Amino acid sequence: MGPTDEFELEARRRGYRLIAGLDEAGRGPLAGPVVAAAVILPTRCRLAGVDDSKQVSESARVQLYEVIIRRARAVGVGIATEQEIDCLNILEATRLAMRRALASLTPSADCLLIDAVILSNLAIPSRPIIKGDTLSISIAAASIVAKVTRDRMMAVYHQTYPDYNFLSHKGYGTEEHLQRLAQYGPCAIHRRTFAPVAQLLDGRRGRRPSSRMDLGESSRMNQ
């Protein structure tokens, strides 16, 4: 069936009018930023084909991205860099990117639907929804905006670091990426605290890896 606007309509029945869906892309990769997007859709907005970004082909995502940008009342994007990920950990960096996405919305949201993540101390009510990108149309739209935005960033990084072929795997821990990482070593956008990168760096230093490697989540793909 795919995402619907039932959560948005419920919020409207409670008096809210600017309901934002919020999601992220890039928690699992070994390189690059984590990107969050917030999307406010008009009432009863029909977006045929919009779904969890992982369930949509790359070409379809690009087309849907353009539709969402054109039809949304507001779109905000927030980014947390690989340095911030290493400093904070991936969950807190994701929250930081989400807060930045919310802050960039014009007009601002008065109610928030989030894909699973809990954000504390918000000025507006929020509702975390497990698998929200498969249930809420505005969260699904945000997932597509976040994914396309991040993929485009990784395509730019590919021009700077062509040895790693970021254009193909977008920084995720694919077999090809791991092979190139072993061959060339980490570049500036690799996440130093993620397991394969940390293991490689620790091996080159000749010491045992630290426990912070557990932050890697390298097995998660295409989020």
Q: Consecutive 10-residue runs of the chain (223 residues): their mean pLDDT?
A: 92 97 98 98 89 88 96 98 98 98 98 96 96 96 97 98 98 97 97 96 65 40 44
Ramachandran category for residue 44: left, alpha or beta (phi over 0 → left; psi -120 to 50 → alpha): left
* Predicted local distance difference test score (pLDDT) of residue 220: 42
* Predicted local distance difference test score (pLDDT) of residue 212: 40
List of E strands, 3-125 = 19-25, 34-40, 74-80, 111-115
* Predicted local distance difference test score (pLDDT) of residue 2: 87
* Predicted local distance difference test score (pLDDT) of residue 206: 60
Domain harbouring 139, CATH code:
3.30.420.10
Within-domain flag for 38: yes
CA–CA dist 46, 111 (Å, integer): 20
Q: Are residues 180 and 146 in the same domain?
A: no
As for how many domains the chain has, the answer is 2
* Predicted local distance difference test score (pLDDT) of residue 1: 73
Within-domain flag for 35: yes
Secondary structure element (H or E) that encloses residue 129, with its range:
strand 126-129
With 0.95 as the threshold, say if the pTM is over it: no
Q: Are residues 210 and 147 in the same domain?
A: no
Within-domain flag for 223: no
Q: Are residues 112 and 136 in the same domain?
A: yes
The residue range of the domain holding 169 is: 160-215
* Predicted local distance difference test score (pLDDT) of residue 211: 40
CA–CA dist 104, 156 (Å, integer): 23
pLDDT tens by residue, 6-52: 999 999 999 999 999 999 999 999 999 999 999 999 998 888 888 87
Q: Are residues 133 and 195 in the same domain?
A: no
Q: Are residues 144 and 177 in the same domain?
A: no
